[in-house]
Amino acid sequence: MIDMAAPPFRDLPNPYGVRVLLVAPMRVRDQLVGMLALDHGEEEHHFTADEVELTQTVARFAALVIDATAFSRGRPRRGPVNWRCARRTAAWTSS
Protein backbone atom coordinates (compact mmCIF):
# COMPACT_ATOMS: atom_id res chain seq x y z
CA MET A 1 0.00 0.00 0.00
CA ILE A 2 1.18 3.48 -0.79
CA ASP A 3 0.13 6.39 1.41
CA MET A 4 -0.09 9.34 -0.96
CA ALA A 5 -0.08 11.78 1.99
CA ALA A 6 3.34 10.56 3.18
CA PRO A 7 6.78 11.37 1.78
CA PRO A 8 7.89 11.16 -0.96
CA PHE A 9 4.42 11.06 -2.56
CA ARG A 10 2.84 14.04 -0.81
CA ASP A 11 5.08 16.41 -2.78
CA LEU A 12 4.14 14.88 -6.14
CA PRO A 13 1.24 16.02 -8.33
CA ASN A 14 -1.97 14.18 -7.39
CA PRO A 15 -4.69 15.49 -9.73
CA TYR A 16 -7.26 12.89 -8.61
CA GLY A 17 -6.73 13.41 -4.89
CA VAL A 18 -5.89 9.75 -4.24
CA ARG A 19 -5.20 9.16 -0.54
CA VAL A 20 -4.15 5.49 -0.39
CA LEU A 21 -3.13 3.30 -3.30
CA LEU A 22 -3.11 -0.50 -3.18
CA VAL A 23 -0.68 -1.87 -5.76
CA ALA A 24 -0.26 -5.55 -6.63
CA PRO A 25 2.43 -6.82 -8.99
CA MET A 26 1.29 -8.90 -11.95
CA ARG A 27 3.94 -11.61 -12.34
CA VAL A 28 4.36 -14.65 -14.51
CA ARG A 29 7.02 -16.86 -13.01
CA ASP A 30 9.64 -14.29 -11.93
CA GLN A 31 8.81 -11.71 -14.60
CA LEU A 32 6.82 -8.57 -13.87
CA VAL A 33 4.24 -8.10 -16.65
CA GLY A 34 2.19 -5.30 -15.10
CA MET A 35 0.79 -3.66 -12.00
CA LEU A 36 -2.77 -3.59 -10.69
CA ALA A 37 -3.56 -0.41 -8.73
CA LEU A 38 -6.71 0.29 -6.71
CA ASP A 39 -7.77 3.37 -4.80
CA HIS A 40 -10.77 4.95 -3.10
CA GLY A 41 -10.17 8.40 -4.53
CA GLU A 42 -10.29 11.15 -1.95
CA GLU A 43 -11.86 8.92 0.73
CA GLU A 44 -9.84 7.73 3.68
CA HIS A 45 -9.76 3.93 3.45
CA HIS A 46 -7.86 1.18 5.23
CA PHE A 47 -7.61 -1.88 3.00
CA THR A 48 -8.51 -5.08 4.82
CA ALA A 49 -6.52 -8.29 4.61
CA ASP A 50 -9.33 -9.75 2.48
CA GLU A 51 -9.16 -6.80 0.04
CA VAL A 52 -5.38 -7.17 -0.23
CA GLU A 53 -5.67 -10.94 -0.81
CA LEU A 54 -8.40 -10.47 -3.44
CA THR A 55 -6.31 -7.82 -5.22
CA GLN A 56 -3.28 -10.12 -5.29
CA THR A 57 -5.40 -12.98 -6.64
CA VAL A 58 -6.91 -10.82 -9.39
CA ALA A 59 -3.40 -9.57 -10.29
CA ARG A 60 -2.12 -13.15 -10.56
CA PHE A 61 -5.01 -14.19 -12.81
CA ALA A 62 -4.68 -11.08 -14.96
CA ALA A 63 -0.95 -11.78 -15.42
CA LEU A 64 -1.73 -15.33 -16.54
CA VAL A 65 -4.29 -14.03 -19.04
CA ILE A 66 -1.79 -11.52 -20.42
CA ASP A 67 0.84 -14.25 -20.72
CA ALA A 68 -1.54 -16.76 -22.34
CA THR A 69 -2.82 -14.14 -24.80
CA ALA A 70 0.71 -13.16 -25.80
CA PHE A 71 1.68 -16.82 -26.18
CA SER A 72 -1.39 -17.66 -28.29
CA ARG A 73 -0.58 -14.75 -30.61
CA GLY A 74 3.02 -15.91 -30.99
CA ARG A 75 4.48 -12.86 -29.28
CA PRO A 76 7.60 -13.13 -27.18
CA ARG A 77 7.24 -12.39 -23.49
CA ARG A 78 8.32 -8.89 -22.60
CA GLY A 79 9.53 -7.29 -19.42
CA PRO A 80 8.57 -3.84 -18.20
CA VAL A 81 9.66 -0.95 -20.35
CA ASN A 82 10.82 1.18 -17.44
CA TRP A 83 12.94 -1.06 -15.20
CA ARG A 84 13.73 1.72 -12.72
CA CYS A 85 10.02 2.41 -12.17
CA ALA A 86 9.22 -1.32 -11.96
CA ARG A 87 11.95 -1.93 -9.34
CA ARG A 88 10.80 1.05 -7.27
CA THR A 89 7.15 -0.06 -7.44
CA ALA A 90 8.06 -3.65 -6.57
CA ALA A 91 10.00 -2.36 -3.55
CA TRP A 92 6.99 -0.31 -2.40
CA THR A 93 4.63 -3.26 -2.74
CA SER A 94 6.88 -5.67 -0.86
CA SER A 95 7.24 -3.47 2.21
User: Tens digit of pLDDT for each residue in 3-32?
Assistant: 888 888 888 888 888 888 899 999 888 888
> Taking the model in full, what pTM does it have?
0.66
> Could you give the number of structural domains in the chain?
1
pLDDT of residue 23: 92
Residue type for position 56: Q
Element (H, E) at 42: none
**Range of lowest pLDDT (40-44, 49-53, 85-89):** 85-89
The domain in which residue 31 lies consists of 2-94
Nearest to 28 by CA among 51, 56, 2, 61: 61
